Chain A
Amino acid sequence: MAETKTKSKKKSTKKVDVFKEHGVSPELALDMIRNMLLYRRFEEKVEEAYAIGKIGGFCHLHIGQEGACVGSIKPLRDDDYVMSAYREHTQAIAKGVEPNAVMAELYGRADGASGGKGGSMHIFNAATRFMGGHGIVGGQVPLATGIAWKIKYRKEDSVVIVYMGDAAVNQGGFHEALNMAAVWELPAIYVVENNGYGMGTAFSRVSKTDMASKAVPHGIPSSSVDGQDVLATYAHFRDLAEEVRGGGGPRFVDLKTYRFRGHSMSDPVSGTYRPTAEVEKKKEENDPITILRDHLFAAGHMDQEGLEAMDAEARQISQGAADFAEASPLPDPSQLYANVWAEINANGRLFFDGRGEE
């Protein structure tokens, strides 16, 4: 496999300690690569499971975007909130949802994070404040703004990070939400995982202005960061979260990244709207795992053996999640009508198909 076998090409000529530069300890950096490897192997296992029919429906993989994920979530506190769109399996894990529960949800089993009721696009975990998992492009942006409203309302000091794809910034709701966040100075960080393509459409074809400028008309400070460089991303979000937490109002981040797979499992990796050469080049030169690996190797914080051991563990956890999911039962049919309503009123009929009544 490319990530662990290729000989490190980078030879650092300057004696710059990237870890010190970004304020990341070696232990933390090792933790980061461990996480990224897990997310990579997990998503590959998801891909395989989908391909042989265990996972159905829509499935959007995060492969290639692990650095963006780790770098932005790692600086958060447990009581911060994370909300995302539908490419969220690894973000859920990063926020603390068990890989077993995520995989079981993808398999549509009773032990899934949403009891098998949600699927790939609707992974929820209230306990870890992972707020889903939303299927309508841009729909999560106003929702997250409401979470930020609650934080301000209750005078708390958490922050909420909401992820969206590059195409979402053209939705009306995005602009409405950012405007309100700015007017009311809400503690929200709006993060575009900018991989350059909204499904099959390059961002440049649907926008006259560049990404970082999208929040400027709303008066929200914007920044850009290379999501494939997990150390830089981490540092950036660590500082940003503190700014927001301290009452600095909302922020907008153009988090540049790249996906190594198609938009979803129905979309080819390359050859239609992305030239194969482009994808291959990115995989070769812009893989967040290999980039960090090279830094770690160069600084002597890790060696090949250590990397492979970590990778084996990642594969093991991923396989374990697949086994767990496979063994988990399908949701009981008696649950079909469960949880449509949070309150079954004492009077009146709530279901109208003659089957929903208890």
Chain B
Amino acid sequence: MKCSEFLTELTNYLDGVLDEPTKAELENHLSWCHNCYVVCDTTKKTIEIYRDSQLYELPDDLRTRLRAAIMAKCQQHKKRGPQSV
């Protein structure tokens, strides 16, 4: 397996959707190709860091305010009828 072929399969590998023979081939490539190992490892870390980052969490007070606004608008919509959205 060449590095370019490894890259093509990287997303499938990280998502755990590769068939066993391809996965074995890819892991064999990783065992000797340091560059691809680093790319794979740091890509995985990238995903994990974003997933665990709590970036753009909705603060509780804003959440309450937004929900109240949404439900108030829904009520208005109900009164005005289905043409209003």
Co-assembled chains A and B? no
Please list the residues of chain B having a beta carbon within 8 angstroms of any beta carbon in chain A.
none
